[in-house]
Structure 1
Amino acid sequence: MAPLSLKGLRKSFGKVRALDGIDLDIADGEFFCLLGPSGAGKTTTLKAIAGLEPPDEGRVEIGGVDMDGVEPYDRGVAMCFESYALYPHYTAYDNMASPLRSPRHRLPAAEARERIGRFAELLGISHLLDRNVGELSNGQRQRVALGRVLVRPAAAFLLDEPLSHLDAKLRQAMRAELKTIGAVERTTTLYVTHDYVEALGLGDRIGVIRDGRIVQVGTREQIWNEPADTFVANAFGKPRINLVPGEIAAGGRLRAADGAIDLPVDAGLAPGRAVTLGVRPRDLLLLRGDEAPPDGTAEVGARVYVTEVLGRQSEVTVTAGDQRLSLVVPREDASGLAPESPVRLGVPAGRVLLFDPSEGGRRLAP
């Protein structure tokens, strides 16, 4: 186990800047998730730590030791590639056993078998160990590749979207197993993903990366409740957060540009200040009949655009003035909502986020 520290990492490929000053500290034994879209620099960050892509500037420290000039083999990290990188002429067992047969990590045969068997059972591939990897499905190969990393004693695990080729049910099961493995092994883990559900479910802390830069680092609660900007707010949650242009009106009120939404806020901003109002679909209330909105909740009139049933819940899209808003409600609450039917929404003032539309969407008070 060892902490990881990245200091000012920069890496370019021709005219493309893949990493643009990455600073990141991951604690010893921490399970850290790095989330971002394709092309954000996630995999390049992992390769820089592993020594596969030396940075143009900056440094990587593992366990407090500067890795400049240290070969990948000597860094003590184990990396799982999204592309599997398995030995095609080996069986699943031999692929998992390969790191335990190297001079650096060699284990006695009995101990190696026990370790391989334990992780194969956790990954649900015990019955596949005798098969050649060419006979396995993509999802099975991905679990073999992950197992090959986990069996190896390492200072840190670097996992590049290791669940991306699994079906939804298996991904959910594997997230639980990975969290268990992390808790038991306490090996420092940097887990790269583009799936916010994985990040929220697995990460002790989460880092959000965009265009080669770290946008925000925090716990799941901090990332969800206090996003640094509209990019982070949009990255978490489905449906996405509702973003509505507006301004601060006299009397400390927030008013949407078309006047359809008007509610009190305690933001300390001057009247006339342009803002973007953000409210998550699960925070909006659907008021039925003559139900009065709770204290601190503004009422907004709207019309139903479309309703989608999602199991026990429904996603309702409405139009309020010129704005289209989404909210998630229990399925029974959405029954009978036909397109164009009038509805009343409750917007809790305490759940509203404000963003600056002129400065990259950075979050403002409150």
Structure 2
Amino acid sequence: MATIDVRSVRKTFGKLVALDDVSFSVNDGEFFCLLGPSGAGKTTTLKSIAGLVQPDSGEVWLGGRDAGDIEPNHRNLAMCFESYALYPQHNVFDNMASPLRSPVLRLPDAEVRERVGRTAEMLGVGHLLDRGVDQLSNGQRQRVALGRVLVRPANAYLLDEPLSHLDAKLRTSMRAELKRIAHGELNTTTVYVTHDYVEALSLADRIGVIKDGRILQVGTPQQVWDTPETAFVAQAFGKPRISFVSGGLVSDNGTIRFISSDGAITVPVPDLDTTAAAAGESVRIGIRPRDLVLHTGAGAQPEGHERLDGVVYVLEHLGRQTEVTVRIGESLVSVVAPRGDVGGLAVDDKVSLLLDPATVHVFGDSDDGRRLTR
């Protein structure tokens, strides 16, 4: 196993800045997820760690040593590419065995057979070892590509969207299996790239959120969920997505309140960091759909909650739950409600949303706006 330290790495391709002062550390034996949209710089980061891309500036340290002078084949890292990169002329067994037979390892045939057989069974492709690559589905190829990485002993595994080509059912089961493998059988330092927040939350010990070649936040799954550092990080997690409303901060008898641009939404901001924001500043608030309660008039309003009145804009029935989008003035706010709570609700019906102000996130008024609540 090994530690990985990425220190102020910058990489450009012509005028495109792929990585811009990227820094983060991965602890020995840690499962670290790099989460971001397409084009964020995730794969370039992995390739920089592997030595397949040479940074313009900055350093990559492996196991406490500057890896700048270590050739890729001597870094003892195993990488899974999103594009499979399987050898079409070989069957499944030979594809998975290829790293074990390489000049670097050259393991005995008996150990090769044992490792390939165990890993193939672990990934559910044990019955496919004699098949050619052209006889496999995309999902099977994905598992073989992952198996070719996991079969070999390595200081760290670099996994680039290894589940992206699986169907939803298989992806869920493989995610659970990969977590068991990574945290149990292998217990090896892993950097896992994904655009899927569910994968990041369920697999990672820590998550690094990346956008436009810059790391926006690094933290545990709970930290990035509870205290996102920017509006972009907040909207990267959760479905339905967090609702944003733009407006400003005003002082009301010693209490700082948020008022939306059209005045339709007003809520106190009890946890505002007054060293970072003050009354009069333009901000946006973020409200997670599951932090709201749909209120149609029945029952008492919980103490300390704010009431936001609006009309139903969209109803989306999702089995046992319904996502209700409510128009409040010029803003759209989503809430997730149990199916029984929506009753005979229809578009344009009047409803109220109940909100605990302590759950409100406040950011600067842009996607890159920094968090202004503690």
* C-alpha displacement of 1:358: 6.3
Q: How many residues align?
A: 366
Greater mean alpha carbon deviation, residues 197-206 or residues 289-298: 289-298
Contact 1:307 1:334 in 2 (8 A): no
| 1:98-131 CA distance string (max 9 Å, x none) | 1111232233333322222222122111111110
2:55 paired residue number:
55
Relative to 1, partners in 2 of residues 1:358 and 1:151: Cα closer, same or farther, differing over 3 Å?
closer
| 1:207-242 CA distance string (max 9 Å, x none) | 011111111000111101111111111111111111
CA distance in 2, matches of 1:68, 1:263: 52
Residues 253-264 of structure 1 mapped to structure 2, 5 A cutoff: 253-264=257-268
Secondary structure of residue in 1 paired with 2:61: strand
1:222 paired residue number:
223
Residues 33-112 of structure 1 mapped to structure 2, 5 A cutoff: 33-112=33-112
Q: TM-score, normalized by length of structure 2?
A: 0.95
Counterpart code for 1:69:
D
Secondary structure of residue in 2 paired with 1:40: coil
Counterpart code for 1:67:
A
* C-alpha displacement of 1:359: 8.9
Moved over 6 A (4+): none
Contact 1:234 1:241 in 2 (8 A): yes
Contact 2:231 2:366 in 1 (8 A): no
Contact 2:232 2:367 in 1 (8 A): no
CA distance in 2, matches of 1:101, 1:159: 21
Q: TM-score, normalized by length of structure 1?
A: 0.97
Contact 1:105 1:153 in 2 (8 A): no
Contact 2:284 2:366 in 1 (8 A): no
Secondary structure of residue in 2 paired with 1:238: coil
1:192 paired residue number:
193
Counterpart code for 2:322:
S
Relative to 1, partners in 2 of residues 1:305 and 1:100: Cα closer, same or farther, differing over 3 Å?
same
Greater mean alpha carbon deviation, residues 264-273 or residues 64-73: 264-273
CA distance in 2, matches of 1:247, 1:112: 64
CA distance in 2, matches of 1:356, 1:210: 17
| 1:254-273 CA distance string (max 9 Å, x none) | 22222222222222454323
2:122 paired residue number:
122
Secondary structure of residue in 2 paired with 1:68: helix
Counterpart code for 1:121:
E
Contact 2:231 2:367 in 1 (8 A): no
Contact 1:296 1:350 in 2 (8 A): no
2:246 paired residue number:
245
CA distance in 1, matches of 2:198, 2:30: 18
CA distance in 1, matches of 2:262, 2:357: 19
2:16 paired residue number:
16
CA distance in 1, matches of 2:65, 2:368: 36
Say whether residues 1:204 and 2:205 are aligned partners: yes
Relative to 1, partners in 2 of residues 1:128 and 1:358: Cα closer, same or farther, differing over 3 Å?
closer
Contact 1:100 1:107 in 2 (8 A): yes
Counterpart code for 1:37:
P
Secondary structure of residue in 2 paired with 1:101: coil
1:154 paired residue number:
154
Contact 2:95 2:148 in 1 (8 A): yes
Secondary structure of residue in 2 paired with 1:306: strand
CA distance in 2, matches of 1:75, 1:270: 50
1:296 paired residue number:
304
* C-alpha displacement of 1:335: 2.9
| 1:53-80 CA distance string (max 9 Å, x none) | 1111111111111111211110010000
* C-alpha displacement of 1:336: 1.3
Say whether residues 1:320 and 2:328 are aligned partners: yes
* C-alpha displacement of 1:288: 3.2
2:269 paired residue number:
265
